[in-house]
Structure 1
Amino acid sequence: MSTTDVFQYDVQAERDFGYVQAIKSGDLIHVSGQLAFDEAGVFRHPDDFDAQVQLTYANVDKILDHYGVTRAHVIAQTLYVVDLRTHAEAMARGNLAYFGDHRPVATAVGVTELTFPGQVVEISLIVDARPGS
């Protein structure tokens, strides 16, 4: 696999955990769980669900831009949400705001905790990178 198939920010977490943000395999792009981190890899907006969703999707956009695809190419997403019942409406609002009329398949998983204190959402995706898809 060539290095052009891999996207990473070169932040400490990638080195510490041994992963990349996304990898393209054939026509599919598999995106690791994205969260509200800045360009230095620092987690932002503890306990603020709306702000975390907004920054998380902004990070997703950077990955999509790298591969030359758009939100309309996302075919599946998994959302990991702390206290899912409390955040269900905000999750739906954020999802609709991000995708507009596009409808990928989605799974929301309620979890007891995520990696960082105050982290309440993480989103992973599968993207169809075929031209015209």
Structure 2
Amino acid sequence: MRSSVQVEKFGVSWEGVYGYVQAIRRGDTIYLSGQLAHDGERLVAPAPVDAEGRVTDFGNMGEQMRQTYANAAELLKRFGASLDDVVEETVYTLDIDAAFAAAGPVRKEAYGRPDPQVTSTLLAVSRLAFPEQLVEVSFTARV
């Protein structure tokens, strides 16, 4: 027997352009697509970029991370879950040093404990979806 499937979206334009959902639940597992720092169509704390679209300052990393975790929490809530149910996250960033410095405090705040009980992988990438984007995080939760 096939288990029921629930999907969630934010209703932002890039969901339709790229063709995906923000989250899907299959059985007792919830998979979240890479989350980023947005509030609707607006990127939160966009990084400054030069004429070629390259980031010139990574100082907004913490603020972008905070919004990213808030967006993930919002999606999980729609499934009756929370960040407490996350078992794995993958953090994609343009700058490992800036992400590592911001991640400790932001993650501990988001997960509400000094030792988040979640596996985590931090990866440097050459580009993310938007030029002003510094970080993206995907999540897997079990309920």
Q: Report the TM-score when normalising by structure 2.
A: 0.83
Contact 1:84 1:111 in 2 (8 A): no
**Equivalent in the alignment of 1:35:** 36
Q: Give the 3 Å change call, closer, same or farther, for CA 63–72 of structure 1 in structure 2.
A: same
Q: Which moved more, 1:41-50 or 1:117-126?
A: 41-50
Q: 1:2 to 1:12 in 2, by over 3 A?
A: farther
Runs of 4+ off more than 3 Å:
1-4
Amino acid of the structure 1 residue aligned with 2:61: F
Task: Establish whether residue 78 from structure 1 lines up as the match of residue 90 from structure 2.
Answer: yes
Q: How has the CA–CA distance of structure 1 residues 71 and 85 changed in structure 2, closer, same or farther, with 3 Å as cutoff?
A: same
1:51 aligns with one of 63, 68, 75: 63
1:6-41 deviations in whole A, cap 9, x for unaligned?
0001221100000000000110000000001112x2
The CA deviation at 1:94 is 1.1
In our comparison, the structure showing a higher alpha carbon Rg is: 2
Q: % of aligned pairs identical?
A: 33
Report the Cα offset of residue 124 of structure 1. Answer: 0.3
Q: Is the 8 A contact 1:73 1:128 kept in 2?
A: yes
Residue matched to 1:61: 73
How much is the aligned-residue C-alpha RMSD, in angstroms?
1.8
Give CA-to-partner distance per residue, 1:23-76, whole Å, 9 cap, x none. 00110000000001112x222211211110111111111111100112110000
Q: Alpha-carbon deviation of 1:100?
A: 2.8
2 CA distance for matches of 1:87 and 1:31? Answer: 20
* Amino acid corresponding to residue 23 of structure 1 in structure 2: I
Structure 2: stretches of 5+ with no match in the other structure: 48-59
